[in-house]
Amino acid sequence: MVQVSTAAEDFPFYLDKEAFKQSVQRHLHTTYGTVESKANSLAWWKATCSAINELVFEGLTETHKKHSGIDTRAVHYLSLEFLMGRLTRNNLYNLGIFETARDALTELGQDIDTLCSEEPDMALGNGGLGRLAACFIDSLATLGYPAIGYGIHYEHGLFRQEFRDGHQIERPDSWRDYGNPWEICRPESIQKVPLYGYVETEFGPNGKMRKVWHPGEMIRGVPWDIPVVGFGGHTVNILRLWESRADDYFDWDVFNAGGYVDAQAEKARAEAISKVLYPNDETLAGKELRLTQQYFFCCCSLQDMLRRYKRRHDDFSHFAEQIVIQLNDTHPTIAIPELMRQLVDLEGLKWEEAWAISQQVFAYTNHTLLPEALEKWDVVLFEHVLPRHLEIIYEINHRFLDEVVAKKWPNDDQMKQRLSIIEEGNPRMVRMAYLGVVGCFKTNGVAYMHSELIKKELFPYFYELWPERFTNVTNGITPRRWLKACNPRLSALFDEAVGTHWPTDLTLLRQVVAKADDPKFQKRFMAIKHQNKQDLAKVILQLTGVEVSAEAIFDIQIKRLHEYKRQHLNMLHILTLYRRLLQDPDLDIQPRVFIFGAKAAPGYKLAKDIIFGINKIGERINADERIKGKIKVVFLPNYRVSLAEQMIPAGDLSEQISTAGKEASGTGNMKFALNGALTIGTMDGANVEIREEVGDENIFIFGLSADEVSSKLKAGYNSRDYYYNNPELKAILDWLDSDYFTPNQPGALASIKRSLLDGGDPFLCLADYESYICAQQAVDQAYRDKARWAKMAIINSASVGKFNSDRSIQDYVDTIWKLKSYPAIE
Ligand code: H2P
């Protein structure tokens, strides 16, 4: 494991308060053309960013010099999502000048928290997958590995969520309306991307036949670089995001002839590619746009890699030594045929040569077993957008089936059909996940259990064919953002307890376990939790108008809204408690605040109904004086990274309640445990490994195991059995048919009940209900014993060092990437 010193004295960018102050003032005057008396917080924030950037860019230049000087192997991380959140605080901490900047700004009459909140979140992602990519590039830079992240420079990130009468409303998220101080446009590295058209077979200059693609359209990819500062400031890598533009977008002739709108049509079409993240793909046009997006950024990124490589090499014999490309999920697997196209069609390599290279550079991370998230493209659509790539995929498939499958399973057509990259059916589909496995030297899952399921359930025959290609890398989170920066109080306590090196070596926190029984330490630990809860209570009041007490259990579920994540199971628990309280207002339960944050995909009706349901149930419960405020329910609007940073330090209970076998890993579970929340969860994803680390007595596990889930489904699961056999469950489900929570709108919540009964309850909420309620009772009991709870919380916080994303990155380096660390600034 690489050790990078992060002791304060070793930070290369030591800067005193005076120098920082002067820099901010200078930028206020000379970069933004304003003065102290006129500047608002936005101007102060921007001037602060410019002051920080002086150091960031110096680090960037040094890193560039170092890495290009040694011409080293680098990892290229291709991801449709990078959920960066805000960067100001992160960059200050990583440069080791947070305190300096805070004090300098205070002397300038500015509050650093206010300035930091001026920054819009870079919400270029949807959930855990995108945030993982952001944590990974932080760790890569921290460990000094040569790396570049490649993605799309979306004009709008994930939508901004508002609630209207409890319903989710989507509004565009314009994160860079007024510019983004962190990014640099690089017109010198623009790439051109061909699309559509047709392919011809021609005779090449050597008399050999060759394929020539005549594209119907060319798009330009404009790169924007965002510097990624490693903790300690020793290395600054980049995240390169591509923006689409029309090649020659303004048609003068049409404009001069009076066609003012038509003249811009091409521009609008080209720009649509990087307009939004996950355009609705219910229509054919939406599907085409998604495929185009995936191809667009892979094509630009590969050209960029080849361009850089060719600066130093005359042939491709060293390509696979220099370049490794990690495909973050199935979305970028189109990069495989694209590299083949660039090598064979454009660079003139033989197929065999190109395929041998390609097979050594690509590795694929799978993030989900859910079929809906594994890309498949209709062959007709594919051929329309990428005619040459379809041919290449056919060739890859043909060789794979004839040379590999037929050898292992001679005369077995069924096996060929099973493993074919093309799914025969109506319509025929390209299975991109299969292409990923065939074209990559490694395929990994993101937690131990998920990686096992990949082998057993998702790709069993591929596993039989190539067992050595399958591996696991358990996810992680960066402790810099998810403890040091978001929870300064707890960080200070840990600094005192174990010294200041834990942000890079999180296993040092294990020493704190010895203090878990110490009443004084418990008191300090829980006092910090209480203060964090008070802070969150203020945010809750401001966002929802609901007053909550920091004495209550803060029971939090934050993640994408999806049936498999089972926010509606949590809702059933709330309804159960509410009903019990109505039957007996003196019922002795620990007060709880149920806190949610989640966005539902705009086209996912039931997910939106669940948000509506929780909001309406919350309204009724929060207003019901009979239950004396014993439970409250709040759904915080517009969940995003910066809100998570305020919620996670305040959690007592972390809800990780997915149907076993469905959540590949989860990373919110790690963030909560690190910040001293106890997990209530199923044996799913990384919960299994968290349990191993914290011990069975410090986690609340419930529900069916993954094996039990699959046997139950095979045996014919009937959710109605649970409904009829449990009168309490029946009563709360029937409640949803009434207008109890939605006055004058009877049945407004009925779709949730319908999905659980008529819809067959595909994620087994009802099968797990009883066990979940029992586990929640155990939580209630545990919380009564303050010393016991404190001990459990401390043990959680101290025991999850394994989930540092530096460890994940080191695992990737050791098993897949084989990189060397070169911190740029010693
Ligand atoms: C996904 C998986 C998570 C996993 C994450 C990162 C797709 O994220 O479902 O289980 O932890 O990738 O590997 P999410 O659901 O949070 O969007």
Q: Are residues 29 and 80 in the same domain?
A: no
Does residue 471 form part of some domain?
yes
The CA distance from 228 to 226, in Å, is: 6
∠ CA 640-800-694, nearest 5°, is 120
Does residue 1 form part of some domain?
no
The CA distance from 821 to 49, in Å, is: 28
Ligand 1 atom nearest to CA at 666:
11
Helix (H, G, I), strand (E, B) or coil at 161: strand
Long-range contacts of 602-607 (CB under 8 A, 24+ apart): 602/159, 602/170, 602/280, 603/280, 603/282, 604/561, 604/562, 605/751, 606/563, 606/751, 606/752, 606/755, 607/561, 607/562, 607/563
Q: Are residues 116 and 140 in the same domain?
A: no
- Residue 791 makes CB contacts below 8 A (sequence gap 6+) with 516, 517, 522
Q: Is 446 close to ligand 1, i.e. is its CB under 6 Å away?
A: yes
Q: Is 666 close to ligand 1, i.e. is its CB under 6 Å away?
A: yes
Ligand 1 atom nearest to CA at 658:
10
The CA distance from 224 to 240, in Å, is: 6
- Does the annotation count 682 as an active-site position? no
To the nearest 10 degrees (0 to 180), the angle between helices 567-583 and 765-784 is 60
Ligand 1 atom nearest to CA at 664:
10
The CA distance from 88 to 521, in Å, is: 32
Query: Six-digit token pair at 110?
Result: 């500015």
∠ CA 114-117-118, nearest 5°, is 95
For ligand 1, atom 14: residue with the closest CA: 128
Does residue 803 form part of some domain?
no
Domain containing residue 55: 14-70+87-120
Q: How many CB atoms neighbour CB 508 within 10 A? A: 18
Give the length of the chain: 826
For ligand 1, atom 12: residue with the closest CA: 129
Q: Which of 27, 46, 529, 565 is catalytic?
A: 565
Q: Which residue in 707, 684, 655, 136 sits closest to 450, CA to CA?
A: 684
Contact 77, 816 (CB under 8 A): no
Q: Which residue in 152, 120, 172, 81 sits closest to 602, CA to CA?
A: 172
Give this prediction's pTM. 0.97
pLDDT tens track for 481-537: 999 999 999 999 999 999 999 999 999 999 999 999 999 999 999 999 999 999 999
User: What sections of 5-124 are H helices per DSSP?
Assistant: 17-26, 41-70, 88-95, 98-107, 112-116
The CATH number covering residue 674 comes to 3.40.50.2000
Q: How many CB atoms neighbour CB 215 within 10 A? A: 17
Q: Are residues 264 and 314 in the same domain?
A: yes
Q: Are residues 108 and 133 in the same domain?
A: no
Q: Which residues of the chain have pLDDT under 50?
A: none
Report pLDDT for 301: 98
For ligand 1, atom 3: residue with the closest CA: 666
Find the farthest-apart pair of alpha carbons in the chain and give their distance in angstroms, rounded: 91
- Does the annotation count 418 as an active-site position? no
- Rounded to 5 degrees, what are φ and ψ at 557? -125, 110
Label residue 109 exposed, middle or buried (CB < 10 Å: 0-12, 13-18, 19+): exposed
- Does the annotation count 565 as an active-site position? yes
Q: Are residues 453 and 534 in the same domain?
A: no
Contact 729, 722 (CB under 8 A): yes
For ligand 1, atom 6: residue with the closest CA: 129
Q: Is 663 close to ligand 1, i.e. is its CB under 6 Å away?
A: yes
**Distance of CA 384 from the midpoint of ligand 1 (Å):** 31
Q: Which residue in 429, 378, 451 sits closest to 417, CA to CA?
A: 429
- Rounded to 5 degrees, what are φ and ψ at 89? -65, -40
**Distance of CA 710 from the midpoint of ligand 1 (Å):** 21
Q: Which of 442, 559, 568, 630 is catalytic?
A: 559
Q: Is 560 close to ligand 1, i.e. is its CB under 6 Å away?
A: yes
The CA distance from 772 to 289, in Å, is: 41
Q: Is 667 close to ligand 1, i.e. is its CB under 6 Å away?
A: yes
Q: Is the peptide bond before 427 cis (omega within 30 degrees of 0)?
A: yes
Q: Are residues 557 and 579 in the same domain?
A: yes
In DSSP notation, 402-457 reads IIIIHHHSTT-HHHHHHH-SEEPSSS-EEEHHHHHHHH-SEEEESSHHHHHHIIII
Contact 362, 75 (CB under 8 A): no
Map 692-715 to HEC letters. Answer: HHHCHHHCEECCCCHHHHHHHHHH
Q: Are residues 552 and 593 in the same domain?
A: yes
Identify the residue whose tokens are 């930070």. Answer: 11
ipTM (interface predicted TM): 0.94
For ligand 1, atom 8: residue with the closest CA: 128
Q: Are residues 484 and 547 in the same domain?
A: yes
**Distance of CA 683 from the midpoint of ligand 1 (Å):** 16
- Does the annotation count 114 as an active-site position? no
pLDDT tens track for 723-744: 999 999 999 999 999 999 999 9
Map 728-770 to HEC letters. Answer: HHHHHHHHCCCCCCCCCCCCCCHHHHHHHCCCCCCCCHHHHHH
Pairing state between β 167-171 and 160-164: antiparallel
Contact 442, 774 (CB under 8 A): no
Query: Six-digit token pair at 235?
Result: 């290395």
Helix (H, G, I), strand (E, B) or coil at 612: helix
**Distance of CA 154 from the midpoint of ligand 1 (Å):** 21
Does residue 248 form part of some domain?
yes
Q: Are residues 696 and 739 in the same domain?
A: yes
The CA distance from 606 to 752, in Å, is: 7
- Does the annotation count 192 as an active-site position? no
Contact 412, 653 (CB under 8 A): no
**Distance of CA 460 from the midpoint of ligand 1 (Å):** 22
Q: Is 581 close to ligand 1, i.e. is its CB under 6 Å away?
A: no
Report pLDDT for 359: 97
Q: Are residues 224 and 180 in the same domain?
A: yes
Fill in the amino acid letter for 611.
I
pLDDT tens track for 790-805: 999 999 999 999 999 9
- Residue 618 makes CB contacts below 8 A (sequence gap 6+) with 546, 594, 632, 633, 634, 635
Fill in the amino acid letter for 616.
K
Q: Which of 560, 562, 599, 632 is catalytic?
A: 560
- Give the mutation target among 327, 329, 367 for probing the ligand 1 site: most ligand atoms within 8 A of CB: 367
Q: Give buried/exposed letters for 728-756 (b at 16+ CB in 10 A, else e).
A: ebeebbebbeeeebbeeeeebbbbbbbbb
Contact 797, 690 (CB under 8 A): no
Ligand 1 atom nearest to CA at 127:
17
Fill in the amino acid letter for 802.
K
**Distance of CA 129 from the midpoint of ligand 1 (Å):** 5
The CA distance from 342 to 710, in Å, is: 44
For ligand 1, atom 16: residue with the closest CA: 128
Contact 181, 171 (CB under 8 A): no
Q: What is the CA radius of gyration of the chain?
A: 27
Q: How many CB atoms neighbour CB 32 within 10 A? A: 15
- Rounded to 5 degrees, what are φ and ψ at 724? -75, -25
Q: Which residue in 633, 601, 473 sits closest to 75, CA to CA?
A: 473
Q: Is 367 close to ligand 1, i.e. is its CB under 6 Å away?
A: yes
Does residue 5 form part of some domain?
no
**Distance of CA 664 from the midpoint of ligand 1 (Å):** 6
Q: Are residues 261 and 112 in the same domain?
A: no
Does residue 604 form part of some domain?
yes
Q: How many CB atoms neighbour CB 339 within 10 A? A: 26
- Does the annotation count 533 as an active-site position? no
Ligand 1 atom nearest to CA at 475:
13
Contact 699, 691 (CB under 8 A): yes
- Look at the chain and report how many structural domains it folds into: 3
Query: Six-digit token pair at 610?
Result: 């669940």
Does residue 552 form part of some domain?
yes
The CA distance from 28 to 23, in Å, is: 9
Q: How many CB atoms neighbour CB 93 within 10 A? A: 21
Which H or E run includes 201?
Answer: strand 198-203
Label residue 705 exposed, middle or buried (CB < 10 Å: 0-12, 13-18, 19+): middle
Strand partners, 201: 211
Q: Which residue in 629, 625, 554, 631 sits closest to 596, CA to CA?
A: 554
CA distances from 670 to 474, 661, 803 (A): 11, 18, 7
Report pLDDT for 259: 72
Q: Which of 76, 220, 341, 367 is catalytic?
A: 367
**Distance of CA 184 from the midpoint of ligand 1 (Å):** 29
Q: Is 127 close to ligand 1, i.e. is its CB under 6 Å away?
A: yes
Query: Six-digit token pair at 277?
Result: 């993240």
- Give the mutation target among 665, 808, 812 for probing the ligand 1 site: most ligand atoms within 8 A of CB: 665
Does residue 823 form part of some domain?
no
Q: Are residues 188 and 253 in the same domain?
A: yes
